[in-house]
Amino acid sequence: MTKRECDEYLEQLNSKGIVPGLDAMNALLDRLCRPEKHLKIIHIAGTNGKGSTGTFIASVLKESGYKTGHYSSPAVFEEREIIKVNGRNISEKDYVNLIEEIKNTDLSFTRFELETALALLYFYQKGCEYAVIECGLGGREDATNAMSDTLVSVFCQIGMDHMQYLGNSLKDIASNKAGIIRKNGHVVYIKSNKESDDAIETIAAARHANVKAIEPGEVKNALYTLNETVFDLNEYKALKLSMAGEYQPLNAALAIGVVRELNALGAKISEKQMRAGLFKASLPGRFEVICQKPLFVIDGAHNEPASKVLAKNIMRYFGNRRLIFIIGVLKDKEYDKVIKNTCDLAWQVITVTSPNRQRALPAIELASCVRTVNSNVTAADSIEEAVETALLLAGKDDAIVAFGSLSYLRQVKESIGTGKP
């Protein structure tokens, strides 16, 4: 199979969309002889923070000498970035060869099911000891939940998202995500709200799982700059992160809770290794500075909880600057709430149509929605035009923030001349 044939095949699978349920995934993993049985798996669910938390955990494990796989989605800049071993993307050769191997099973599956199986098979073949696996959507019927066993189930903060699949209340959404908890398993979660916390605790109790909860109040004395975040967490003083964002200390606190649980289960991770792993962790597209003059940040805030956090970050880091926003969203998201939480902060808003043709909200329609909170809005004909316009408008002390759907951020980064990641 050539790379082009591989791309065409993946495009065919894309047309199947999202198909909740575990039957197809179980059949596929059975055919591949259950590669996940050879891995110690940290399984992560939640609405926001999975990518950052998973990155922190994987980085700490790598720093501690463990060969570690990390599977996350969606891709931001390059399709192979969702599958990494010790921080390195799967090679194009391995990616294409494994897709061909899975295709030749002649089973029926979605793209996400194929990529999940590919990740597990790749991690096994590369001799990984640990694998950090992020749910795609929900938990109970997510393809990743077909894995035969997991070491620790991890829950980031839970909010309203994917309601058409997960339910219209926090309780329903959290109960779905808590479906990844295993009988007699180990659970680490960050407290979000009473409804979701109770749902996790109830299902964990029913399955006799050991639960460790992280209180947001445990994070103290946080200091934020775009280059470094410093905070205290209980006995750990002056922990340092290179990833910016008001939410990152909470994600790191959850990762530390997981590390402590792994140590209790037999891992050997020192405090020095943990600190180094946290600081070395990096994740493109999450409040990432891609240009200094003018200051230009990209962020994948695409739902209501993430947009509230983005607004806080903007005020924290850019409160005294004139702001230019670029926004592109998917029509099946709560984009009206994203707009309400953010767009009144901007001097100028430029809307774009995201590359995801089936799900993208057209730039003109998006501009009409933005106009309800900010009259200074224009719809760009392309992402490149939006970036060019923003750069022309920006003064030396202004800041540009591009956010919304992750699917268009790669083109934003390329358009300012940073090249392909």
What is the tens place of the pLDDT at every residue in 18-68?
888 899 999 999 999 999 999 999 999 998 889 999 999 999 999 999 999
* Amino acid, res. 368: S
The domain ranges of the chain are 3-280, 288-415
DSSP string, 333-369: S-HHHHHHHHGGG-SEEEE---S-TTTBPPHHHHHHH
- Per the CB < 8 A criterion, the answer to whether 357 and 326 are in contact is no
- Per the CB < 8 A criterion, the answer to whether 35 and 41 are in contact is no
Angle between helices 3-14 and 111-125 in degrees, nearest 10: 130
Topology of the domain comprising 3-280:
UDP-N-acetylmuramoyl-L-alanine:D-glutamate ligase (3.40.1190)
Mean pLDDT of 283-309: 88
Which residue is listed with tokens 């923030």?
401
What is the tens place of the pLDDT at every residue in 78-106?
899 999 999 999 999 999 999 999 999 99
What is the tens place of the pLDDT at every residue in 383-396?
999 999 999 999 99
Does 342 score more than 70 pLDDT? yes
CATH no. of 288-415: 3.90.190.20
The percent of the chain in helix, strand and coil, each rounded to the nearest 5, is 45, 20, 35
Does 421 score more than 50 pLDDT? no
Does 420 score more than 50 pLDDT? no
- Per the CB < 8 A criterion, the answer to whether 183 and 209 are in contact is yes
Whole-number pLDDT of residue 168: 65
